[in-house]
Amino acid sequence: MKRFVLLVCALGAAAACGDNLPGDDDHDHDAVQIDAPSIDAQPTDAGIDARVATHTGTVTVMEAKLLNPGTSGTFFGQGPQVGIAFVDRTLLVPPLMEEAPGAPTGCKLWEFTPAQLAAQIGSDEGPVAITLTGGASQAAFPPCTFTATVGYTCPDTSTASTGGVIALGAGPLAGAAILTDTDNTFTVANSAGRYVRIAGATNAANNGVFPIVHVGTPLAANQIAYGNPAAVVETLPAAALHVNIAGVGPIPGAPNPGFILDDNAISVVHTMGGGNHVESFTVSNPSVADDFALTTAATQALNAIPTTGTAAALTIACDAGSCGSGSAMGMLVNIISTDTAPGASPFDFPAPTTKRKQVRCAAIGGVTSITIPAAYMAAFIDSDIERIQTTVIRSAILALDPPATVLGGHAIVGFTTPP
C-alpha cells in the first residue's frame, strides 16, 4: 500500500518517500487489495527561519478523498491520513527548477532516484501524538512512532494480537473479508477509519495492509470487516500478527463528512527522542481547514495529466463558493510520477525503478486556484511514465519549520494511467 504526497510536501524541498507501512516490504499486495495510498510527510524548504537546525520536520493530518478513475467526478472513498518525517537537511534534494528559490511557495520541480527517495523517510526523533477535538465526531489517533526503513506510522497497540480466523463476508458485507479474533474487542474508537495490517498468514494474499470497512452490528465485538478482494478463508497460524493502524488513508465507500470534520480542533505534540535532533514541541489550531470541491474541469484533470503531445499550463480551481470561507491558510497542487508498471489496482503507485518526478505548486493565503506553468507540466511529457498521482490540498498552517511544519486540512487525490 503505497503512500501519496500531501501538503507537507506542499511546503517541502523534497518529496517524502516513505512508500511502505510495516510489513509492506515486499510490495506484493497493492494489486489485490482495495486500497489508497497514504500521506507522505516531507521536509520543508530551508530559509523559512534563520534558526540553525540540523533536521527539518513535517507533520500533516488530512481528510483525503480519492477519486474514482475516469471523468465521473465521484469518490472511491475518504479517510484520515497522517504524514510525519524528520529528515537530515544534508539529505534534501534541491529542485531542478523553482519559481521562488528558497521559499515554500511557487512551483518547483524535482527528480529523484530510488536511493534519494529512501533517504526522505527520515529518522527516529521521538513519538508524535495527534489529538482532534470538537465537532459531532472526530478521528482518534494512537501515538505515532518510527520504524526503520518504514518511517512513522500510528499503530493501535490495544488491537495488536496473534492468530484469528479469516472468512468471507455475506449479505450486506459481501465482498469484504472478516477477521475474527477472540483476543480482541473491536470498537469504533480503535477500528473506524483505520486499516488492519496482517502478517504471517499461510496464504500470501491474506498478508498486507487493508482498509477496515465495517465494525459493529451485524458483526460480533471480536470481528472487523476489511477490504481485500483476494482474501482466502484461513485459520491464521498462532504466530500470525495483526494490528489496526490509524492515519493510513481513504476508506472505500466512506461518505461525507468523513472522519476529520471542519469544526475539529487539532493538537500535535512531539516528544524529543530517538536521535534527539528535534526538540519537543506542541502546536494547536482551533480548526482544520474546511472540506472543499473543485470545478468539473479541475476534478477531471486530476485523472488525466498529459504524458504526450505539447505541454500546456494547468489550472486547478475551487468550485464556486467552495473555498471562500473556513480556516485554510494555504493551497497546494502536488504531482508525482513513477516509471514502474503498476499492478491491477487503479490506485497502485509503486516506487520508481529509476526516477520519480515531482512538481509542487503552493500558495499561502486566501487563494482559490493555482496555475502550473507549461514549463513544469512538460516534466510529465515522458514515455517512461507508468502512472501519475495528483493531489490538491487546502490546509490550516499550525506551525512553520523549525522545529517542524505542521498542517491540517482536506485533500483530493486522482491517478493518471497513460494510454
User: Do 191 and 226 sit in the same domain of this protein?
Assistant: yes
Which pairing describes strands 3-5 and 38-40: parallel, antiparallel, or unpaired?
Answer: parallel
Cβ of 413: how many Cβ atoms within 10 Å? 30
- The 10s digit of each residue's pLDDT in 228-261 is 999 999 999 999 999 999 999 999 999 999 999 9
User: Does 7 or 326 have the greater pLDDT score?
Assistant: 326
User: Do 188 and 241 sit in the same domain of this protein?
Assistant: yes
pLDDT of 36 higher than 70: no
User: Do 223 and 77 sit in the same domain of this protein?
Assistant: no
The domain that holds 240 is classified in CATH as: 2.40.30
pLDDT of 16 higher than 60: no
- Give residue 102's pLDDT: 87
pLDDT of 208 higher than 90: yes
User: Do 12 and 118 sit in the same domain of this protein?
Assistant: yes
User: Do 217 and 149 sit in the same domain of this protein?
Assistant: no
User: Do 264 and 388 sit in the same domain of this protein?
Assistant: yes
Which residues are 411's β-sheet partners?
A: 64, 393
Average confidence (pLDDT) over 201-223? 97
Going by pLDDT thresholds of 50, 70 and 90, the confidence category of residue 105 is very high
Among 245, 279, 299, residue at a domain's last position: 245
Q: What's the number of domains the chain is made of?
A: 2
- Give residue 148's pLDDT: 93
- Give residue 1's pLDDT: 32
Average confidence (pLDDT) over 18-44? 34
Average confidence (pLDDT) over 40-44? 42
- Give residue 325's pLDDT: 67
- Give residue 134's pLDDT: 86
- Give residue 41's pLDDT: 43
How far apart are alpha carbons 57 and 303 in whole angstroms? 30
Among 210, 229, 245, residue at a domain's last position: 245
- The 10s digit of each residue's pLDDT in 134-153 is 877 778 999 999 999 899 99
- Give residue 113's pLDDT: 97
User: Do 318 and 370 sit in the same domain of this protein?
Assistant: yes
pLDDT of 93 higher than 60: yes
Among 245, 277, 305, residue at a domain's last position: 245
User: Do 117 and 204 sit in the same domain of this protein?
Assistant: no
- Give residue 136's pLDDT: 76
User: Do 198 and 334 sit in the same domain of this protein?
Assistant: no
User: Do 106 and 212 sit in the same domain of this protein?
Assistant: no
User: Do 121 and 162 sit in the same domain of this protein?
Assistant: no
User: Do 266 and 410 sit in the same domain of this protein?
Assistant: yes
Average confidence (pLDDT) over 200-211? 97
Average confidence (pLDDT) over 263-291? 92
Average confidence (pLDDT) over 79-83? 96
- The 10s digit of each residue's pLDDT in 364-385 is 988 999 999 999 999 999 999 9
Domain membership of residue 169 as a residue range: 157-245
